[in-house]
Amino acid sequence: MKFYAFLAVMAVMLSPSSAQGPDVIIGDLFDLNNYAPAGGFHAYSFGTNACNIGTTPLNWIANTNDHPVIAQQMYRVRDGVFRQIGFAWMKHGFGALQLSYCGPCTPHPNFNALGVGCSDPYCAGLNGQQASLGPRSEVNASTGVFPYPATMVPSVTDSTSARVRVESSLVLNQPASSRFFIEGQYVAKDDAANSHAGNNASYREVETTASGDLSLTGATVPQLPAIYAWQSIDPGVAIVTHDVVGDGRFILGTNAVSLGGGMTRHVFALHNLNSDLAASSISVSLPSGATVSNLQFLDADYHSGEAWSSSDWSGVFANGAVTWTSPDTFASNPAGSALRWGTCHTFVFESDMAPGQVSVGLFKNGSSFIFAAPPVPDWAINGPAASLTVDGLSNNGFTGPIQQTLNFGATAMVNFSSNVATGGTEQDIFYHAGAAVPGSAGGTVFGDGKIINLDLSQTLEQFWDWQTTSSGSFLWTAPTVPAHFAAQMAVTDATAFSSFHVSAALEVAVDPCAFGTVAHTLGDDDTVQVTFGAGGDHSCVSTVSIYGTSHDALYINSNGSVSFGSGSTSFAASVTEFTNQMPRVAGNWSDLNPTGVNLIQSVSDGGGNVVVQFMSVPAWSFSGGGSTVSFDIGFGANGDVAITSHSIVGTWGNTSLTGFSPGGGATGNPVTWSTMIGATTPYAGTDAVYEMVTGGAPSGFSALILHPDNSITVN
């Protein structure tokens, strides 16, 4: 379902815009070239597929300044820190194909413009062609204006020159948790003139090898710069934007990483999407008495003869703020070190206090603007010092606690952990009736950012009455009456700023669920889905399991089987299909026809058990001679899967198959069930076990039971 949801989002984002004029975006980042490392650098280029989602053609005139230019950037996320690690010189567009990657295309009659709805791909080879790349410093991304031809060419000294050049140390020997992203951005004069420059960047994730080579992974995220990738993989990241009137957009991403001992690493990534004024300073305010250390400035250097300076900004903590400032002013050096368009500078410091508002100084005109204080999470999240989860769920510090809804008597796996190992530390889980509360509305927020999401005005119960800090898990069984409660774990730590750590809050609701009988109307060679859990056909059943996999739905197939992942309309019993297709339980797979009669139903109870019943279902009339078959396929809360109550009325002439299969290329094990009465036989999870009778049906047994360990008992 996630894949189809993503396609739906893509369809919206790539559909023609209601805005007037041309509007160029990158619909896809495709193709990728890895170049030979040289001089301590790696280099890359990648393909960009432009889409005109506007209402008029986009100019694409070669050998003039009336065509798009293409920027390529690269970023890394490591240990909670987002930073830019490389970029390339600009590729100048020279002609537009009229393709339909974006959807319906109204082609322009020649290569001098990109038609409405049309796409134009530039492969990695073109975007990495060193001799045809131009400088970034001559492009005004706010207006899309640049001189043509360019007044400078790249200094090409090796395979990395002018391409997306990255220090080798930033891609080699990185922790497995590191993530990498590429970003493409188009700049065009007529696009900017119609106020559409805010959606020209798109990003995509890439993977690295031991040699530093890249490969594409995931899908392109259109119309968003890569700083949004940081937020997509880290729920603690907040993003705010500021549009400078008459100029361009700045985007600020923030993150707070707990270091223990009351200290937090604060990360501020400031991205200049398309401002020509650029930025030359950033200042982050802090409360009085704050302790600050370990200031860092992270950027990617210009290269290959680019005119702009890459000198580092100096950072200082003074007068209640941490401030980084460029060594240059526009008056003293117009090409000085500034945060230019298509680049991101990252600023890091450690403190025992939460930061306040952020002020950014502009390079070219000396003015400034203020980002409001970064959003403060209202909800605690799990960390190494204190973690409490239910059923493996997680939460976002900005949206709510970990939430789980359970049916009466259902079980949930609770995991708890802490890496605090100082002498005498203890932990306990506190809980109260009702909902958890946000830090800003009933909760308690401490100066070091810790958040208690329990309502301290209520009477708190203790799960352990304090115990020595440890990690583990336990299975919790929901009561058989409605309940709603919140819980949070605390860990004592004398070295911490507030002398304790807290986990994310859990909020658990125990609700009555629906069980009973659901009749299913199926036609000849038909299939129907039966769903479980909240809102499903049988909500007292959370999932059913077979061959070690839990499923929140099953498919009843009218020809005598139950399958998982998809249904089957095949009327002829087939060993090949049984072993190679989806997981399946065949009560009597044969050519059946329940058309026009309610003879198939699913029945559940309040304990999580469900059974699918075929009740006197006729064989297909031309081959069955009026005979019928009945059987039950049951799924127990204990993990057993059983075929029971199998019976034939009349003379059965259809070939039939009865048994169990994990599908996906399972090993076939043909048996005769009646010879196995009273025995339990072990099988592997890759074994399909079945009896197929040509011109008849298996018989002579009362129950076939597949156990969770894949053994089968025959009665």
Q: What are phi and psi of 529, to 5 degrees?
A: -90, 140
- pLDDT over 80 (residue 690): yes
Nearest to 451, CA basis, from 618, 264, 643, 171:
264
Q: Are strands 24-38 and 41-52 parallel, antiparallel or unpaired?
A: antiparallel
pLDDT at 112 over 90: yes
Q: Tell me: the pLDDT tens digits for 525-539?
A: 999 999 998 778 998
- The residues, ordered by sequence, that sit 6+ positions from 376 with a Cβ below 8 Å of its Cβ are 354, 439, 440, 445, 449
* Whole-number pLDDT of residue 606: 75
pLDDT at 387: 94
- Residue with the bigger pLDDT between 103 and 452: it is 452
Give the number of residues written for the chain.
715
Q: In 380-505, where do the E strands start and end?
A: 387-390, 402-407, 411-417, 426-433, 444-445, 451-452, 461-462, 467-468, 472-477, 483-492, 500-502
Which 3 state secondary structure label does DSSP give 299?
coil
**What average pLDDT does this structure show over 139-154?**
95
- Percentage of the chain beyond pLDDT 70 is 95
Task: Provide the pLDDT confidence category of residue 11 given band limits of 50, 70 and 90.
Answer: very low
Query: Which of 118-132, 168-182, 246-260 is least confident?
Result: 246-260
11 backbone dihedrals φ, ψ, rounded to 5°: -60, -40
Structure tokens at 658: 């009865």
133: pLDDT strictly greater than 90: yes
Please tell me the predicted confidence (pLDDT) of residue 15. 41
- What confidence category does residue 14 fall into, taking pLDDT thresholds of 50, 70 and 90? very low
pLDDT at 259: 81
Q: How far apart are CA 654 and CA 627, in angstroms?
A: 10
100-114, 416-430, 599-613: which range is least confident on average?
416-430
* Structure-block tokens of residue 313: 């900004």
Cis check for the bond before 149: say yes or no (omega within 30 of 0).
Answer: yes
pLDDT at 4: 30
Mean pLDDT to the nearest integer, 303-318: 97
Query: Has residue 267 got a pLDDT over 90?
Result: yes
Window from 202-211, 228-237, 418-427 with minimum mean pLDDT: 418-427
pLDDT in tens, 356-388: 899 999 999 999 999 876 677 889 999 888 999
The set of residues, in sequence order, having a beta carbon less than 8 Å from that of 387 and lying 6+ positions away, is 415, 416, 417, 418, 489, 503, 504
* Residue written as token pair 């708890």: 416
Please say if the pLDDT value at position 10 is more than 70. no
Q: Decide the pairing of beta strands 687-693 and 667-670.
A: parallel
Q: Mean pLDDT throughout 27-40? A: 96
Most confident of 147-151, 266-270, 398-402, 652-656: 266-270
The set of residues, in sequence order, having a beta carbon less than 8 Å from that of 4 and lying 6+ positions away, is none
Local confidence band at 257 (pLDDT 50, 70, 90 cut-offs): confident
Helices (H), 330-407: none
Give the model's pLDDT for residue 423: 66
**Of 65-74, 130-139, 527-536, 582-591, where does mean pLDDT reach its minimum?**
527-536
**Is residue 689 pLDDT above 70, yes or no?**
yes
Q: Is the pLDDT of residue 644 over 90?
A: yes
pLDDT at 8 over 50: no
Query: 258 pLDDT band (50/70/90 cuts)?
Result: confident
Closest CA to 663 of 585, 579, 586: 579
- pLDDT tens for 458-471 read 999 999 999 999 99
pLDDT at 625: 54
The pLDDT of residue 18 is 44
pLDDT value, residue 235: 79
Residue 6's pLDDT is 32
For the chain, list the domains and their CATH numbers. 24-233 (no CATH), 238-370 (2.60.40.1170), 387-401+413-497 (no CATH), 516-714 (no CATH)
Quick one: average pLDDT of 77-88? Answer: 97
- State the DSSP H helix or E strand holding residue 634, giving kind and residue range, or none if neither: strand 628-635
Dihedrals φ, ψ of 5, to 5°? -65, -40
Give percent above pLDDT 90 in the chain: 81
Average pLDDT over residues 311-333: 97
Instruction: Give the pLDDT score at 598.
Output: 63
Mean pLDDT of the residues in the chain:
92
Residue that the structure tokens 């797979």 belong to: 589
Q: Is the pLDDT of residue 432 over 80?
A: yes
Residue 321 to residue 56: CA distance in whole angstroms:
48
